[in-house]
Amino acid sequence: MAKYSTGSGGDSAGGSCELCGSDSGDLQTANVAGASLQVCDSCARDHGETDGPAGGDSSRDDQNRKRKAAQNAAKIQDTQKADSSHWEDGADYDDDQLPYLVSKYGERVTEARQDEGLQTGELAEELDLDEADILAVEQGRATQANVGGSVIKALEEYLDIDLVESR
């Protein structure tokens, strides 16, 4: 059974391990959960950062961690360099940009559609658009629904209304 103590502060030759209680003879100082203890080789490997003969192990582990971190950072930079080519030609999302819309644009579309005697599904079919896009415009959430400028243009032309600010 482990004898858990704060250490005798004596030399590392002789005595028993302060964690497992074994009488190994060769003890080393190890930092275990913030306490400096005299421990056997086995307990030092399993539980502590050593200052004694096996101290090179924690130093080596630290060097390995730093080397792996540097390798990971290099991989990230290489990946970013390889993938950055798509930024040179510009992003695709600007192709069908939504223009600035007039106030209450949704009400204008709804009123004009109803004046034409059409349901949203019928208007969508007539313009070859998704009904969800027309509903989003009518409900005033064109921006949140990522409706493109081409949808607005088609609605303006078909319904003969102005939806875009400052033409």
Instruction: Confirm whether pTM is higher than 0.85.
Output: no
Q: In what order do the strands lie in the sheet with 49-50?
A: 35-39, 28-32, 49-50
Q: Which of 53, 79, 97 is the last residue before a domain boundary?
A: 53
Domain range for residue 38?
A: 1-53
Q: Is residue 58 situated within a structural domain?
A: no
Residue 22 lies inside a defined structural domain of this protein:
yes
Residue 133 counted as domain residue: yes
Of 53, 68, 83, the residue at which a domain comes to its end is 53
Spatial distance between the Cα atoms of 153 and 146, rounded to a whole number of angstroms: 15
Q: Is residue 152 within 8 Å of 164, Cβ to Cβ?
A: yes
- Helix spans in 6-84 (H): 41-47, 55-83
For residue 110, give the nearest of 79, 139, 143, 78 by alpha carbon: 139
Average pLDDT by stretches of 10, the chain with 167 residues: 49 69 80 80 70 53 73 64 51 69 92 95 94 94 90 94 83
Query: What is the predicted pLDDT for the residue at 41?
Result: 81
> What's the confidence (pLDDT) of residue 57?
56
Residue 80 confidence (pLDDT): 52
Q: Within a domain: residue 93?
A: no
Please check whether residue 37 is in contact with residue 49, taking contact to mean a CB–CB distance below 8 angstroms: no
Q: What is the pLDDT, as a whole number, of residue 9?
A: 47
- Can you give the CATH number for the domain in which 110 is found? 1.10.260
**Residue 41: which region, alpha, beta or left (left: phi > 0; alpha: psi -120 to 50)?**
alpha
CB atoms within 10 A of CB 18: 23
Amino acid 55: pLDDT: 44
The pLDDT value recorded for residue 137 is 93
CB 30 within 8 A of CB 39: yes
Q: Which residue has the tokens 């949808």?
A: 151
User: Among 12, 32, 53, where does a domain finish?
Assistant: 53
Locate tokens 């005798």: which residue?
A: 8
Q: How many domains does the chain have?
A: 2
In a domain, 72, yes or no: no
CA distances from 150 to 54, 98, 147, 164 (A): 70, 8, 8, 12
147 domain-assigned: yes
Instruction: Indicate whether 153 belongs to any domain.
Output: yes
Q: How far apart are CA 84 and CA 92, in angstroms?
A: 14
Residue 78 lies in a domain: no
